[in-house]
């Protein structure tokens, strides 16, 4: 925006290099965006999100415009790798395709290095997200960005469309749907976590690790992501304490061995985090219970990296498609849900191994299944 508009000035501060600047502003998570000196946004934001935030009434105007959209053959909800692949596959069949999502790229935007997307030996999340968008833009896809689905209204009779209601009240109709709303970080759900989020509680070691250079931090979770985060952080910070709820860590043996070899790491097993503590403006530590002795302990840390897995973004589907205990949408081998004409793909489903290549493959499969459904169920006119 600053490049295009001479009345907008922008200063970027590298928190790792200018520690005094981040201390003055109490920044514990990046990117932290300030507008005219006041806090404006936290975390990665797209240009559309920023403009929407500044432009009051934008969402309501967008909702009015969405209500005018014609019936889709396929409407895809969620624009991560699964949604993007589904959109490309649908559009290539020449059917009317819509793609509604909150932020194009999904979790890929939160990823630094990606080295396991076959045929691409090494890339970065932001680059892959841009390529996903460019690929979708090659085709006739109605991309509805920075919009969130809040309700699914399944068809009540054969031949009737399914409907998606957006957070701002617009209704979109489609003959078939593909749900690809992915997943988000799981919270600890303890007192103080919400209050000190981005003020010490963080979920991304790659993004926020350098802000804790030379400080003491805790990592919650002894799975692969927790142990990887602890290894990564041990090279940057003064000391890492890893807290694992269970009697043993679940991470791969090779990662555990690496972690145990590091001199500035302490591992606490059977440790249940009870509370995140702070001084009102920033985090100062946490309280945890030893589940064997029942003794409570205090840990003085500047940062807590929560690494306890992912939760599917499916809460908005309550009472519609069937889900399992963890909220993942149940699908069959063709990505079909419990409701005819509604398909699902990627991290929001019960398919194991949450990976980009798997999400993209599932998106493609869901799309082919939806097309197959349409050719059998759309009346000949």
Ligand X SMILES: Cc1cc2nc3c(=O)[nH]c(=O)nc-3n(C[C@H](O)[C@H](O)[C@H](O)COP(=O)(O)OP(=O)(O)OC[C@H]3O[C@@H](n4cnc5c(N)ncnc54)[C@H](O)[C@@H]3O)c2cc1C
State the residues that interact with ligand X by CB under 6 A: 77-83, 100-103, 106-108, 110-111, 114, 116, 148-149, 180-183, 313, 316, 346-347, 354-357, 359
Q: Known catalytic residue: 232? A: no
Residue with Cβ nearer ligand X (180 or 286): 180
The candidate with the shortest Cα–Cα distance to 91, out of 128, 131, 137, is 137
Interatomic CA distance for residues 124 and 115, integer angstroms:
8
Q: Name the minimum Å distance from CB 339 to ligand X.
A: 17
Of residues 288 and 343, the one with the C-beta less far from ligand X = 343
- Which residues, in sequence order, are CB contacts of 318 under 8 Å at separation 6+? none
Q: Decide if 198 contacts 42 (C-beta within 8 A).
A: yes
Closer Cβ to ligand X, 50 or 268, answer by number: 50
Name the token pair of 63: 């909702």
Give me the helix-helix angle, 58-67 and 47-54, nearest 10°.
Answer: 110
Alpha-carbon distance of 306 to 291, in angstroms, equals 19
Nearest distance from residue 100's CB to ligand X, in Å? 6
75 versus 271: smaller Cβ distance to ligand X: 75
Closest contact distance (angstroms) between CB of 145 and ligand X is: 10
Q: What is each CA distance from 26 to 45, 134, 204, 280, in whole angstroms?
A: 20, 37, 18, 11
For the bound state, the minimum distance from the C-beta of residue 148 to ligand X, rounded and expressed in Å, comes to: 4
Instruction: To the nearest 10°, report the CA torsion of 364, 366, 371, 377.
Output: 180
* Catalytic pick among 73, 208, 335, 348: 208
> What are the angstrom distances between the C-alpha of 371 and each of 73, 124, 377?
9, 32, 10
> Rounded distance, CA 292 to CA 13, Å?
45
Quote the CA–CA distance of 287 and 300 in Å, as a whole number.
9
Closest to ligand X by CB, 240 vs 271, is 240
> Of residues 73, 110, 204, 335, which has the active-site annotation?
204
Token pair in block for residue 127 = 């680059």
* Smallest gap from residue 293 Cβ to ligand X (A): 34
Q: Catalytic one among 142, 145, 207, 232?
A: 207
Residues 310/148/53/190 CA torsion (nearest 10 deg): -30
Nearer to ligand X, 80 or 192 (CB): 80
Closest CA to 264 of 290, 233, 285, 220: 233
Q: How far, in Å, are 106, 138, 338, 361 from residue 118 at the CA level?
A: 19, 21, 32, 12
Note if 348 is an active site residue.
no
Q: How far apart are CA 46 and CA 44, in angstroms?
A: 7
Q: What are phi and psi of 346, to 5 degrees?
A: 90, -155
Query: Given the complex with ligand X, which of 30 and 299 has the nearer CB atom?
Result: 30
Q: Has 350 been annotated as catalytic?
A: no
Beta carbon of residue 151, minimum distance to ligand X (angstroms, whole number) = 9
Question: Residue 263 Cβ, how far from ligand X at the closest point, in Å?
Answer: 26
Active site residues: 204, 207-208
């Amino acid at each position: 925006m600053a490049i295009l508009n001479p009345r907008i000035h922008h200063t970027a501060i590298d928190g790792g290099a200018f520690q005094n600047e981040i201390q003055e502003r109490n920044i514990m998570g990046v990117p932290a965006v300030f507008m005219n000196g006041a806090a404006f946004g936290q975390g990665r934001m797209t240009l559309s999100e920023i403009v929407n935030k500044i432009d009051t009434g934008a969402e309501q105007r967008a909702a009015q415009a969405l209500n005018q959209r014609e019936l889709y053959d396929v409407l895809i909800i969620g624009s991560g790798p699964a949604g993007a692949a589904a959109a490309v596959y649908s559009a290539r069949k020449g059917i009317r395709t819509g793609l509604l999502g909150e932020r194009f790229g999904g979790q890929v935007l939160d990823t630094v290095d990606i080295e396991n997307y076959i045929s691409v030996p090494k890339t970065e999340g932001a680059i892959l997200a841009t390529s996903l968008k460019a690929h979708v833009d090659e085709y006739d896809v109605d991309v509805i960005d920075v919009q969130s689905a809040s309700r699914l209204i399944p068809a009540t009779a054969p031949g009737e469309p399914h409907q998606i209601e957006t957070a701002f009240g617009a209704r979109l109709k489609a003959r078939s749907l593909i749900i690809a709303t992915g997943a988000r970080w799981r919270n600890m759900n303890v007192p103080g976590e919400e209050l000190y989020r981005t003020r010490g509680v963080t979920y991304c070691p790659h993004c926020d690790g350098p802000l804790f250079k030379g400080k003491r931090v805790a990592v919650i979770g002894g799975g692969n992501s927790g142990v990887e985060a602890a290894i990564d952080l041990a090279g940057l910070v003064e000391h890492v304490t890893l807290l694992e709820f269970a009697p043993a860590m679940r991470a791969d043996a090779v990662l555990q061995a690496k972690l145990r070899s590091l001199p500035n790491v302490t591992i606490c097993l059977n440790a249940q985090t009870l509370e995140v503590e702070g001084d009102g403006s920033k985090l100062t530590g946490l309280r945890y219970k030893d589940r064997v002795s029942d003794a409570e302990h205090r840990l003085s840390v500047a940062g807590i990296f929560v690494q306890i897995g992912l939760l599917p973004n499916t809460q908005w589907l309550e009472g519609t498609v069937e889900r399992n205990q963890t909220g993942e949408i149940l699908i069959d081998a063709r990505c079909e849900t419990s409701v005819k004409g509604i398909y699902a793909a990627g991290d929001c489903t019960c398919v194991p191994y949450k990976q980009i290549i798997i999400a993209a493959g599932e998106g493609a499969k869901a799309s082919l299944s939806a097309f197959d459904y349409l050719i059998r169920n759309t009346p000949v006119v």
